[in-house]
Amino acid sequence: MNASPLPSSTPSSLEALNDWVAEVAALTNPDSIHWCDGSDAEFDALVAGMQADGTLLPLNQDTHPGSWLHRSDPDDVARVEHLTFVCYEKEEDAGPNNNWMAPAEAHAKIDALFDGCMRGRTMYVIPYCMGPIDSPLSRCGVEITDSPYVVANMRLMTRMGADAQARIEREGSFVRGLHSTGELDPDRRYIMHFPDELSIKSYGSGYGGNALLGKKCHALRIASHQARSEGWLAEHMLIVGIENPQGETHYIAAAFPSACGKTNLSMLIPPDAYREKGWKVWTVGDDICWMRPGEDGRLYAINPEAGYFGVAPGTSAKSNPNALASIQHDTIFTNVAVTDDNQPWWEGLDDRVPARDWQGRDYVAGGGKAAHPNSRFTVSAKQCPSYSPQAEAAQGVPISAIVFGGRRASLVPLVFEARDWTHGVLVGASMGSETTAAATGQVGVMRRDPMAMKPFCGYNFADYFGHWLSFDKPGAQLPKVFHVNWFRKGDGGDFLWPGFGDNLRVLEWMIGRVKGEAGAVDTAIGALPRPEDLNLDGVELSDEARDKLFGFDPEGWRSEFDGIGEYLAGYGERAPEALLAEHARIAKRLGG
């Protein structure tokens, strides 16, 4: 690839960008600088260069045309929450939910690592837009990186290149992200966020969200800070449209921790009986949602991303046929295994036996996972069969319901509805889930993960809860709030709910509640459906499943609310009084 110099003359609104690029170049000392334009020719040149140096390995071009495999360093395979910092002048502004470092100390620590780190490398300047390029809800950023793999992924995940740079030129503002893979040394790795400066610095990792700075770093940690100051919400949520046989489409935003089914739900295929009646599901987004009140008081949402960075293991023709169809061509796979004819493979895909594992070693059956549990695919959202044209709507889509959920093997029923917005904020603030492989650490441990934002909220959670509460004001037409648990287990350890496409039965009940048409039973924790309130035609549920999926255990919930109270108390004086009062109201009703 031919490296291009800094533009010799640019509009004054880009002076800050040029000055910053020059400053970074002086610090990192690259051999050349390339300003990315997002063109096909540029992408082809990037891929050719990475194929030449082994960064990208071609997959079977007959079965997966335009698709590639990347193998990351074995010590660089997931988010590193313990090395991720949010840097405000005051530690309490970062909150107990974040690792904190003072900005001056953080800059000094990470700039020492950046010093000369791009010597012998090309420095890429990536202008990008999070959200439709002409949407007032969108925000722009620029990532500087020495990784062509990052450039290729950012092209799929964002609106990257000349159009984004033109918007930056018009607006004169952008989030600054500086990244280098460095030596890929876990002991020389940091991801630093400076919300007040709208900037990010990441060193020592080439993995996903650690390196694709438009994703979690910008679209959640920095954007949540922007959203608080500008009056909107930046959330770890899918956006899905449910079209009924009458042609009405209701849009639902749902927050689940990573690897808990967001992508599956966003690309849901209705059961046969529903399809025959005319139900359709439209995918707007699978991971991140930005919401802003519209003139009519409703929340309108965009997906700031242009692609999917999905978890491969478990993706199959049964679990998510739309995702599988999306990744049959023009896809970058990371840390998956391959078959003997060089097709991508992972656990849960099919019954074939892979030939080589995610590190390129000959696979031996019984010798461990062939694909890394957090292996990924990166693909344009437009390749999804259920892709919604409304994903590019500048005004966003109106949200009818917000759904929280996680992995809970016991206690939590299949679904319940919050009494009102304040109760809904408490439901989101107190949700818990069993940990997955998307983050380093032990798997299967239950932890509180408010709004599925624990690793991603860019400021003190107590203030974040207060920001959520602030949307309940005169004239607001807020979505109804629900909680789901697809992962309830029986005494024998088996899942009680079939999940996948049958989750539409639960979404149908939610839409019925939004329209005032579906029945429910009032309990201390919210409105629960009875089995007869859901369409369960064709679903076989045991007596145990019906009892536990639709049941309410007051004693168990008293204990749960004791734990929620202790959790909220951990935020001290910043915990919103309205949230504490709502907790006390429900605890009293439970007899706690």
| DSSP result, 291-328 | EEE-TTS-EEEE---SEEEEE-TT-STTT-HHHHHHTS
How many C-beta atoms lie closer than 10 Å to residue 535's C-beta? 17
* Mean pLDDT computed over 28-32: 98
Mean pLDDT score, 254-274: 91
Radius of gyration of the chain (CA): 24
Overall average pLDDT of the 258-284 stretch: 94
Quick: pLDDT tens for 216-235. Answer: 999 999 999 999 999 999 99
Query: What pLDDT is stored for residue 436 in this prediction?
Result: 61
Give 447's pLDDT tier (boundaries 50, 70, 90).
confident
Q: Is 287 labelled as part of a ligand binding site? A: yes
With a cut of 50, say whether residue 6 has pLDDT above it: no
CA 452, CA 50: separation in Å to the nearest integer?
Answer: 35
- Output the pLDDT for position 260: 82
**Residue 537: exposed, middle, or buried by beta-carbon count in 10 A (0-12, 13-18, 19+)?**
exposed
Q: What is the pLDDT of residues 378-404, one digit of tens each?
A: 999 999 999 999 999 999 999 999 999
Mean pLDDT of 60-82: 96
* H or E segment to which residue 157 belongs: helix 148-157
Do the beta carbons of residue 428 and residue 451 sit within 8 Å? yes
Query: What integer pLDDT is reported at residue 443 of this predicted model?
Result: 67
117 is catalytic: no
Q: Is 158 annotated as a binding residue?
A: no
| pLDDT tens readout for residues 134-169 | 999 999 999 999 999 999 999 999 999 999 999 999
The answer to whether residues 140 and 402 touch, using CB atoms and an 8 Å cutoff, is no
493 labelled ligand-binding: no
Q: Is 259 annotated as a binding residue?
A: yes
pLDDT value of position 11: 46
User: Any binding-site annotation on 41?
Assistant: no
CB-based contact 115:27 (threshold 8 Å): yes
Q: Is 102 helix (H, G, I), strand (E, B) or coil?
A: coil
What mean pLDDT comes out for the span 250-275? 93
Q: Which of 98-112, 219-233, 253-267, 536-550 has the lowest mean pLDDT?
A: 253-267
State yes or no: 236 annotated in a binding site.
Answer: yes
Q: Is 318 one of the annotated binding-site residues?
A: no
Local confidence band at 438 (pLDDT 50, 70, 90 cut-offs): low
Does the pLDDT of residue 5 top 60, yes or no?
Answer: no
Q: Specify the pLDDT at position 367.
A: 86
**Using one digit for the tens of pLDDT, what is the confidence trace for 543-564?**
999 999 999 999 999 999 999 9
pLDDT tens for each residue of 461-491: 999 999 999 999 999 999 999 999 999 999 9
How many secondary structure helices (H) and strands (E) does the chain include? 17, 29
Delineate the domains of the chain, giving CATH numbers in brackets: 12-57+76-231 (3.40.449.10), 235-306+388-590 (3.90.228.20)
- Range 57-83 average pLDDT: 96
User: How is residue 534 written in tokens?
Assistant: 């859901």
**Which pLDDT belongs to residue 480?**
98
Count CB neighbours of 220 within 10 A.
25
Asked whether the predicted pLDDT for residue 7 surpasses 50, the reply is: no
Residue in 36, 140, 217, 260 annotated catalytic? 260
Q: What is the pLDDT of residue 259?
A: 67
- Residue 9 has a pLDDT of 36
CA dist., res. 449 & res. 517, Å (int):
32
- Residue 505 in this model has a pLDDT that exceeds 60: yes
Interacting residues of 402 by C-beta distance below 8 A, sequence separation 6+ = 237, 252, 253, 254, 255, 424, 428, 479, 480, 481, 482
Ligand-binding annotation for 251, yes or no, is no
Contact 140, 167 (CB under 8 A): yes
Q: With 60 as the cut, is the pLDDT of residue 314 above it? A: yes
pLDDT value at 449 more than 70: yes
Q: How many CB atoms lie within 10 A of CB 523?
A: 17
Residue type, 68: W
Report the percent of the chain where pLDDT is more than 90: 92
Q: Establish whether 503 is an annotated binding residue.
A: yes
Torsion of CA 430, 508, 310, 439, to 10 degrees: 20
Q: Sign of the C-alpha dihedral, residues 61, 438, 457, 261?
A: positive
Report CA torsion sign: 463, 464, 470, 472.
negative
Strand segments (E) across 195-256:
199-203, 233-235, 238-243, 249-255
Which tens digit of pLDDT belongs to each residue from 178-214? 999 999 999 999 999 999 999 999 999 999 999 999 9
Mapping DSSP onto H, E and C, the string for 64-84 reads: CCCCEEECCCCCCCCECHHHE
pLDDT value of residue 445: 73
Query: Is 261 labeled as ligand-binding?
Result: yes
- The whole-number pLDDT of residue 8 equals 37
User: Structure tokens of 70?
Assistant: 């990347």
115 is in an annotated binding site: no
- Is 375 annotated to bind a ligand? Reply is yes
Cα separation, 334 vs 358, whole angstroms: 8
Q: Is 62 annotated as a binding residue?
A: no
Distance CA 305, CA 212 (A): 12
Burial (Cβ within 10 Å: 0-12, 13-18, ≥19) of residue 424: buried
Mean pLDDT value across the chain: 95
Confidence of residue 434 (pLDDT cuts 50, 70, 90): confident
Return the percentage of the chain with pLDDT > 70, whole number.
96
* Global pTM exceeds 0.85: yes
